[in-house]
Amino acid sequence: MVLRVVEAIRRHIPDARIILFGSRARGDALKESDIDLIVVSKAFEGVGFTDRATYILKILWREGALPPVDVDLLCYTPEEFEEMKKRISIVSEALKYGVEL
């Protein structure tokens, strides 16, 4: 399920750095657990923060890769990501315990 999501994103955003975090990265996810992803790409430059996740969800829907569970997305430009990992605990925790795909 996660692999299909990642492959669909990469087909449209080839330079994407994708980090899986949360229960699926820890290995304690339930069948209905959401998929938590950080997506970092230059493609997000000039795109509003909430529009980035909407764009990716539309990609997943069009590709038939939208899973039967929620997908929680944090989408950053490379510059924003560098700044956020210094300030926001969820980003630093994702880097510490997450899995880069």
Q: Is the model's pLDDT at 13 over the cut of 90?
A: yes
Predicted local distance difference test score (pLDDT) of residue 96: 84
With pLDDT > 70 as the criterion, what percentage of the chain qualifies?
Answer: 100
pTM here is 0.92
Q: What is the pLDDT of residues 15-44, one digit of tens each?
A: 999 999 999 999 999 999 999 999 999 999
| Strand bridging mode 71-76 / 35-40 | parallel
- Mean of per-residue pLDDT scores for the chain: 94
**Pair 35, 70: CB distance under 8 Å:** yes
Residue range 55-76: mean pLDDT, rounded: 96
Predicted local distance difference test score (pLDDT) of residue 80: 95
Predicted local distance difference test score (pLDDT) of residue 17: 97
Q: Provide the pLDDT confidence category of residue 85 given band limits of 50, 70 and 90.
A: confident
Amino acid symbol at 82: E
Domains of the chain with bracketed CATH: 2-100 (3.30.460.10)
Residue 25 corresponds to which tokens in the numbers above? 């990265």
Q: Helices 2-12 and 49-62: crossing angle, nearest 10°?
A: 110
In the block, tokens 């492959």 appear at: 7
Q: In whole angstroms, give the CA distance from residue 47 to residue 10.
A: 18
